[in-house]
Structure 1
Amino acid sequence: MLETISAYLTLSKARIVLLVTISTVIGFFLGGNGIHSIPLLMFTIVGIALVTAGGAALNQYLERDADAKMHRTQDRPLPSEFISPSQALKYGINMVLVGLAVLIWKVNLLVSFLALLSAFLYVLVYTPLKKYTWWNTFIGAIPGAIPPMIGWAAASNDLEIGAWVLFAIIFVWQFPHFYPLAWMFREDYARGGFKMLPVIEPDGKSTFRQIIWYSILLIPVSTLPTFIEMAGQTYLFGAVILSVAFLGLGILFVKTKTFANADKLFKASLVYLPLLFILIVFDFKI
């Protein structure tokens, strides 16, 4: 029983579901000037969690053959044959449909549309593009940045400038977050037939440029909440410190080109975003 639960959590990419849920809650809090309806928040969380889990399952269904060739993913439920392709397909479709039904019934149509758009881009655009072009990362960053907009729309039934600022921050953050991982596992991605930037350009020059460019861009973008009067000076100071430190780790990796520093940058990216969220909630202007 526990093994089956663990397999379905892996199929659902539980860590990604958690990150999406946190981003959604942040958007809900900011879009609603605080949390004024716990039931509405709960229905939003349940709906988006189900849609995200279903999308993750469908992604693994489509990539099951590639996953079997990659060391990093060969133990996933589908390549290891713990879950059959037909089971994964049914699970993924049902989770998406039930999640959308919850959002339509208990939240609003704007949220439902955003959730459907995110799932569509992730499963039917980003996933197949990984086999054809390195631009898949750019496309994949779009659904990755939609969750806070979903939370905002759930709380306000609108998409004001603050929602777009949150989208921009997470969109830009994803490049220095993902590219170190893609560089570390470039040989594995090549085995799977994925056209990631470090795979099609093994010397890494374009990958390193992308990391630096987006890390630099993240500095002004991360300060936007203060300039639209969504957050105060404490947030501004903290955002600049975090973003400059993050850029410093990116420069260190690009200079040394070592696995250890790529891993440091990737792990730092996992700390950067939650800290930024904490700062914006702490210094939020209601």
Structure 2
Amino acid sequence: MLRKQIRDAVAGFPFAAYLELTKPRILTLVLVTTALGFFLGGHGVHSLPLLIYTLLGTACVAGGSAVLNHYLERDVDRTMHRTRNRPLPTGIIKPSTAMSYGLCLVLSGVTILLFAANLLTAFLALLSAFLYVVVYTPMKRLTWLNTSFGAIPGALPPMGGWTAATGELDLGAWALFLILFAWQHPHFYAIAWIFREDYQRGGFKMLPVVEPEGRRTCRHIIAFSVLLIGASALPAILGLTGKVYLYGAVLMGLGLLGAGISLTLTRSELDARRLLKASVVYLPLLFLLCAVDTGF
């Protein structure tokens, strides 16, 4: 009887909904960038257990931050077409449960990083959670600058991987930060352009919402794409990678810039989607180049 009750309880548990709250696609990117920072900072994987604990702790913090973001935006999510079927708006998971779930994940992740890695790595993870949940999430309703502020916590994971391996922040870690910071702008501006009506419906002050003509949005896309080309060259300049990575990074950066220029000329949803696809492809290819060039 007890076994049947346990089986029924497990069968009825919404595992998929709890996983969805952690934003697994973004979480995957976070873990890949963390691993890259760990590898480049330590010049290889000198301790597999440390890497595993670093990824586990980072996953908990990033996933918990995403859950808390869902919790804070649950009412707005009901009004937007692209978010109204999420677990909280549909009632699959209660808000109080989501809040407890998110807090437990964040605290567990910070604790893991503190004891398995070091204080600096734990601090960076906690800072990332704070900036994402407490600063970026409410800022989306206040100013179009939210994209740039949100790019800061989004660029911290590779620094966390670096500090877990080395115990310190140096130029290599900042180079990875700058790459992620610059990349997020064309990526998220493309998303904001495609879904600008939905963002307006939700009351989010994304740049394409406050300036519908798109001139400033396109200028920012071009500017940060140019910055990305320069930032992506830094690992080679610092001696972390070689010429294969450098040439590939510059060529891919020019391709992303070209997609941004096309959007600037047409300001069409089609070109915004092309830019989004280009940005999605860009980052994994950049990391692959880095791995191949360094013999990972």
TM-score (norm 2): 0.94
CA distance in 1, matches of 2:288, 2:257: 20
Q: Say how many residue pairs are matched.
A: 286
The alignment status of 1:219 with 2:229, answered yes or no, reads: yes
Change (3 A) 1:285 1:9: closer
Is the partner of 1:74 in helix, strand or coil?
Answer: coil
The alignment status of 1:282 with 2:283, answered yes or no, reads: no
The alignment status of 1:31 with 2:55, answered yes or no, reads: no
The alignment status of 1:172 with 2:212, answered yes or no, reads: no
Where does structure 1 differ by over 6 angstroms across 4 or more consecutive aligned residues? none
CA positional deviation for 1:228: 1.2
Change (3 A) 1:2 1:141: farther
Is the partner of 2:154 in helix, strand or coil?
Answer: helix
CA positional deviation for 1:284: 2.8
TM-score (norm 1): 0.98
Q: Which residue of 1 aligns with 2:196?
A: 186
| 2:166 partner amino acid | S
| 1:108 partner amino acid | N
From 214, 229, 234, give the equivalent of 2:244.
Answer: 234
CA positional deviation for 1:285: 8.6
Summarize deviations over 1:177-202 as a string: whole Å, max 9, x none: 11010001001001111110011111
CA positional deviation for 1:256: 1.6
Q: Which residue of 2 aligns with 1:266?
A: 276
Summarize deviations over 1:144-185 as a string: whole Å, max 9, x none: 000000000001111121000000011001101110100010
Summarize deviations over 1:26-82 as a string: whole Å, max 9, x none: 000001000011100000010000011100000010001111100000000001111
CA positional deviation for 1:269: 0.6
Alignment of 1:135-174 (within 5 A): 135-174=145-184
CA positional deviation for 1:261: 1.4
CA distance in 1, matches of 2:118, 2:232: 29
CA distance in 1, matches of 2:22, 2:271: 29
- Max radius of gyration: which structure? 2
CA distance in 2, matches of 1:277, 1:151: 14
Return 5+ residue gaps in structure 1 as ranges: none
CA distance in 1, matches of 2:233, 2:12: 44
Change (3 A) 1:113 1:260: same
From 35, 38, 53, give the equivalent of 1:43.
Answer: 53
Q: Which residue of 1 aligns with 2:8?
A: none
Change (3 A) 1:111 1:90: same
The alignment status of 1:67 with 2:77, answered yes or no, reads: yes
User: Which shifted more, 223-232 or 174-183?
Assistant: 223-232
Kindly, what percent of the aligned residue pairs are identical?
Answer: 56
Cα contact 1:229–1:285 (8 A) shared by 2 = no
CA distance in 1, matches of 2:27, 2:189: 21
CA distance in 2, matches of 1:115, 1:104: 10
Return 5+ residue gaps in structure 2 as ranges: 1-10
Cα contact 1:231–1:285 (8 A) shared by 2 = no
Q: Which residue of 2 aligns with 1:104?
A: 114
User: Which shifted more, 136-145 or 227-236?
Assistant: 227-236
Alignment of 1:117-136 (within 5 A): 117-136=127-146
From 192, 214, 218, give the equivalent of 1:204.
Answer: 214
User: Which shifted more, 202-211 or 275-284?
Assistant: 275-284
Is the partner of 2:239 in helix, strand or coil?
Answer: coil
CA distance in 2, matches of 1:200, 1:66: 18
CA positional deviation for 1:221: 1.4
Q: What value does the CA root-mean-square deviation take over the aligned residues?
A: 1.3
CA positional deviation for 1:281: 2.0
| 1:276 partner amino acid | L
CA distance in 2, matches of 1:213, 1:107: 36
